[in-house]
Structure 1
């Protein structure tokens, strides 16, 4: 038998990053109080060992080689992104029940991710009507969660997660920065209610301009950076993957790519780390095609605004918000791009920026610092300075 171990918080965080759901505690092992607290926060279980492990599947060399060659072939398919068993939220609150908020509520109800979903909107009857409409679907979906809707911000009371989508949307010709003054007032009103009625909630900001409004939410709530996140890179990365898949003629599931920086003209799609079927972009695309995909990701939101004439994207931002919540409740693992207040990571301090991060029950767990090219690192710092300038920091 091996010597007893001291299991600390670092071991728990390492297990989470490796995608594990349990931590085996052998007889004689010492588990620190901080490790127990960390495991509960991240949704990991401490299980008394020894845990009986399944016998390893033995594969002969010929079969292994065949699998490697198949993976390298053009017919290779990415592994299925099957959702993991996840923790169910007690209450999810949505401030704004319009296009984005309504779609988030729909997706959350379909996944049965919360016991209660509260929709709040200043437009009389809109939130209540959407909530009732969603409740009517339960006879088909079998979802057990209930939706409620109303016009008062005190309905955020008791929420574990609050998603803020309220605010004015862009019109053709407008940049996200044009919305700073008008939407900052909306954020401050929401923050006041969240601070008093849901003081332990994690806040996800979707209102544009997203990075600037995330800073405003941090200021107004006084919450630590771990509990105020901005949904940006998740959406921008999805647009980048879609553009790459279209250009290469493959399924988006075959593409792994991430976009960092600001949610605007200064966003930085990271081409150096992007892959198609596990291989560098240059295997499938020319430099000109890659540059066109980068431009498509940056202008993707504006393309939707130009087509709609009034309003901006609603479906993709809702899916991106759901992905962040799924990372927080353990349905997804690994890092995900999200806007957070940086404290020295990537050499940037005191500004909110989209970076890869690990999320848990309490929000931000850790910022993942990727190795970037000099040009990509320069673009990230340029985005930080642009946000500072717009906020007068």
Structure 2
């Protein structure tokens, strides 16, 4: 619709004279309607031009269409679509059916345990957060700190802390982070004998005081400690999970995003196998903006990203000198808890006892899992390449060897 300029008036709209030149200008701009307001004069030449150019002269004022308002997320998706019509950023797999955990217990209130408590409180995912640590005052101080923060965060979660393992009583979910961390030059396997006693002691207390809990093991060496927890509690495999694949997958996605120069939200990738040197980043299923890695990265770059994922934990240890990673493991633990409480949907990598999946029997290994209120629902068997499947089986053999060669479970 076109509107001719006013030709007079001061402080109010003047009378317009719509001439042939206005009709011609409207035609050049692709207009098909010219609005004629009360008092406007339309010349005979303008009418002839309008008829010839098939432009309608319509008495106004015409009702203006409402302004279409677009939210920021939709606007961003449209921008990304225009950049690459074949790719649309995936929505996070969050659901509206999340339930709050009645009681979340954290065995170990050091770096990882304290950060899990902080994230859980900020997200308001539990009624009560119980922290337990052998060091006097450690768990109680973290709990008090979290409660003080609630005045800002407005979280409904209340935290308590102490040294007694009996505090796990009544917990729905228990995360075990207690144990000695790695130091520079130390592998996760070097911690096997040191942390085995700690995990067994925690497992016996859980069996006695929280027989219905779901246990998430974070203590290293993670896969082996998950086996120890299974044996100490006597729980079925559905209720003893190891947090590993969530952390390793996050490191792999970060490496791919940095190498490709894209936001990490553009990357989908999963890492399976052991939480150690036998880790198996699954490159065949990894995608950047929905496309195979080789559309963005060279084979050498992909290999470097795989190495970065495998050595990521060691890189943090080398920089910290006196401990290992605390933030990423805490986020990865919360991801598992979110799947258990129904806040996230789909498969998530976790270490579980295998019962023939991927042709592997009687060993704990990181695989894609569907989780729910009762823990493990099912293991999802992906279509892997021969090399990836061989890597999984090699990881299983290595874990058996470190545990003494006997079948577990």
How does the TM-score come out when normalised to structure 2?
0.78
Of 189, 192, 201, 2:201 maps to: 189
Alignment of 1:104-253 (within 5 A): 104-253=116-265
- Please report how far the alpha carbon of residue 230 of structure 1 lies from its aligned counterpart in structure 2 after TM superposition: 0.1
1:82 and 1:347 map into 2 onto residues whose CA distance is 29
Alignment of 1:12-27 (within 5 A): none
- Please report how far the alpha carbon of residue 245 of structure 1 lies from its aligned counterpart in structure 2 after TM superposition: 0.2
Instruction: Provide the secondary structure at the position in 1 that maps to 2:352.
Output: strand
Instruction: Provide the secondary structure at the position in 1 that maps to 2:175.
Output: strand
1:75 and 1:106 map into 2 onto residues whose CA distance is 39
Match of 1:81 in 2: 92
- Please report how far the alpha carbon of residue 67 of structure 1 lies from its aligned counterpart in structure 2 after TM superposition: 7.4
- Please report how far the alpha carbon of residue 80 of structure 1 lies from its aligned counterpart in structure 2 after TM superposition: 3.9
Instruction: Provide the secondary structure at the position in 1 that maps to 2:211.
Output: coil
Runs of 4+ in 1 over 6 A off after TM superposition: 66-69
Question: Using a 3 Å threshold, how does the CA distance of structure 1 residues 295 and 144 change in structure 2: closer, same or farther?
Answer: same
- Please report how far the alpha carbon of residue 78 of structure 1 lies from its aligned counterpart in structure 2 after TM superposition: 1.8
Instruction: Provide the secondary structure at the position in 2 that maps to 1:365.
Output: strand
Alignment of 1:1-393 (within 5 A): 70=81, 73=84, 78-81=89-92, 83-85=94-96, 86-392=98-404, 393=406
Instruction: Provide the secondary structure at the position in 1 that maps to 2:90.
Output: coil
Q: Which runs of 5+ in 1 are unaligned?
A: 1-65
Contact 2:93–2:346 (CA under 8 A) maintained in structure 1: no
- Please report how far the alpha carbon of residue 81 of structure 1 lies from its aligned counterpart in structure 2 after TM superposition: 2.1
Contact 2:93–2:344 (CA under 8 A) maintained in structure 1: no
1:75 and 1:146 map into 2 onto residues whose CA distance is 47
Instruction: Provide the secondary structure at the position in 1 that maps to 2:362.
Output: strand
Count of aligned positions: 328
- Please report how far the alpha carbon of residue 79 of structure 1 lies from its aligned counterpart in structure 2 after TM superposition: 3.0
Instruction: Provide the secondary structure at the position in 2 that maps to 1:137.
Output: helix
Q: Higher mean Cα deviation, 154-163 or 72-81?
A: 72-81
Instruction: Provide the secondary structure at the position in 1 that maps to 2:203.
Output: helix
Instruction: Provide the secondary structure at the position in 2 that maps to 1:312.
Output: coil
Listed one character per residue, the Cα deviations across residues 231-269 of structure 1 (whole Å, up to 9, x for unaligned) are 000000000000000000000010000000000000000
Listed one character per residue, the Cα deviations across residues 41-94 of structure 1 (whole Å, up to 9, x for unaligned) are xxxxxxxxxxxxxxxxxxxxxxxxx97993771995523427433100100000
2:263 and 2:371 map into 1 onto residues whose CA distance is 27
Q: CA RMSD in A?
A: 1.7
Contact 2:274–2:366 (CA under 8 A) maintained in structure 1: yes
- Please report how far the alpha carbon of residue 138 of structure 1 lies from its aligned counterpart in structure 2 after TM superposition: 1.1
1:147 and 1:133 map into 2 onto residues whose CA distance is 9
2:336 and 2:204 map into 1 onto residues whose CA distance is 23
Q: Which runs of 5+ in 2 are unaligned?
A: 1-76
